[in-house]
Amino acid sequence: MTGDHQRANRPQLSLHVPEPKYRPGDEVDFSDIEVPAAGSARRPEPGDNPSEFHELAYGLVRVLDEDGKAVGPWDPRLDPDSLRTMLRNMALTRAFDERMFRAQRQGKTSFYMKCTGEEAVSVSAAMALAGDDMCFPSYRQQGILITRGYALIEMMNQIYSNKGDKLQGKQLPIMYSSREDGFFSISGNLTTQYPQAVGWAMASAAKGDSRIAATWCGEGSTAEGDFHSALTFATVYRAPVIMNVVNNQWAISSFSGFAGAEATTFAARAVGYGIAGLRVDGNDPLAVYAATHWAAERARTNQGPTLIEHFTYRAEGHSTSDDPSGYRSAQEWTKWPLGDPIKRLKDHLIALGEWDEDRQAAMDQECADLVRKTQKEAEKNGILGHGLHQQFETMFEGVYEEMPWHLKEQQAQMIAEEQASGRPWDRK
């Protein structure tokens, strides 16, 4: 029998191309998403072997039920003041987003990214970490800085790249950096922060320090090689690091299926590496807090890394450069079965008798007023297109601890050319 004859009897191969369920104009039905009852996931001890709780990488850790009550073994039992602080941090983050989004539309800055619907992923996690733990964020975790008390005006100065920008206009707007606040420089290159976080955590352990690292990326970024390299090192050396995957369903216009969501969960990647994996309701602020606190205790007691998938939804466009109405149904955010993290925490406080709608409205107004007032102060330092805000010589600085000879020569040449031109460049 010839080879051609054998091939003729074989079934024809076909290639699977992932396709999102809903496109613009479609009716949305998320009933196929399995949402287990709040409190149903068991809570192992932080020191347990990961092989003993694989199911937590496939289920969903939830604390807040439909009545706003905190239930089950993952309930962190936070006091009312801590809950109110968490609520305000999320509300302030959303107010900041709204104001800066508007500033971009007014031409005051070139770019902005909102985290609407994902505030718990950064705020609750930051509250569960120690203040000196090192965070290696992606570009939608502005809530970490706000929770850690970083000045809003410093964030705005960076967004405007004005004369008050401590990064001297060298970073794309929203790519903040604050060593003092344990906030590593954001990079536009996807997932570079993962091996950096693992390396930092390994160094902390090698020095006998007590600080751990935490890092975040989107679900689409798990397809990057850096993600898997980081997990390999974290596994081998039991690095004290928390690796967060923010599964907000969309990587710009590509839905999560292109990163492997049709095959399994993103938390399940932990199983293959032999590390702890948790899949968490990312719109449940108490579940995010509890999972992060558990993972932090695991890291601090030398039990190794944890991979946490935050199952959430990106309510807005990927950035101000993106129009989501061109690739997804407008109904998706309103139909998302896990709700709004701010509303859920507000309802929880009301159910406890520790909050009410009037206090919520007053807090929202206070946050909006604070952001508006701060914006006016920041804009005194300049906005996009209003002259060169940094002295041009600074473009050579801030990369090397000691400027190398060739950059010194280039800097001197540029200064000489400016002086020779007789038209000094704007140095304001």
Shared-domain flag, residues 273 and 414: no
- Asked, for residue 282, whether it belongs to a domain, the answer is yes
Shared-domain flag, residues 296 and 344: yes
Those residues with Cβ within 8 angstroms of residue 172's Cβ, 6 or more apart along the chain or in another chain: 111, 188
Shared-domain flag, residues 366 and 339: yes
Q: Taking residues 83-98, what's their average pLDDT? A: 98
Give the count of domains, the chain.
Answer: 2
Give the pLDDT score at 120. Answer: 98
Confidence of residue 388 (pLDDT cuts 50, 70, 90): low
Shared-domain flag, residues 314 and 397: no
**How high does pLDDT run on average in the chain?**
94
Give the pLDDT score at 428. Answer: 45
Give the pLDDT score at 226. Answer: 97
Shared-domain flag, residues 217 and 346: yes
Q: The whole model's pTM is what?
A: 0.94
- Asked, for residue 326, whether it belongs to a domain, the answer is no
- Asked, for residue 384, whether it belongs to a domain, the answer is no
426 pLDDT higher than 70: no
393 pLDDT higher than 80: no
Give the pLDDT score at 31. Answer: 92
Domain range spanning residue 412? Answer: 392-421
Give the pLDDT score at 185. Answer: 96
Shared-domain flag, residues 314 and 396: no
Confidence of residue 84 (pLDDT cuts 50, 70, 90): very high
Q: Taking residues 119-144, what's their average pLDDT? A: 98
Shared-domain flag, residues 282 and 413: no
Summarize pLDDT for 172-224 with one digit per residue, the tens: 999 999 999 999 999 989 999 999 999 999 999 999 999 999 999 999 999 99
358 pLDDT higher than 70: yes
CA 329 to each of CA 29, 142, 174, 319, 352: distance values in angstroms, whole numbers, following the listed order: 11, 27, 27, 17, 36
Summarize pLDDT for 337-355 with one digit per residue, the tens: 999 999 999 999 999 999 9
Q: Taking residues 343-369, what's their average pLDDT? A: 98
Shared-domain flag, residues 275 and 188: yes
Summarize pLDDT for 218-270 with one digit per residue, the tens: 999 999 999 999 999 999 999 999 999 999 999 999 999 999 999 999 999 99
Which tokens sit at 51?
């092989």
Residue type (1 letter), 97: D
Shared-domain flag, residues 61 and 119: yes
CATH number of the domain enclosing 117: 3.40.50.970
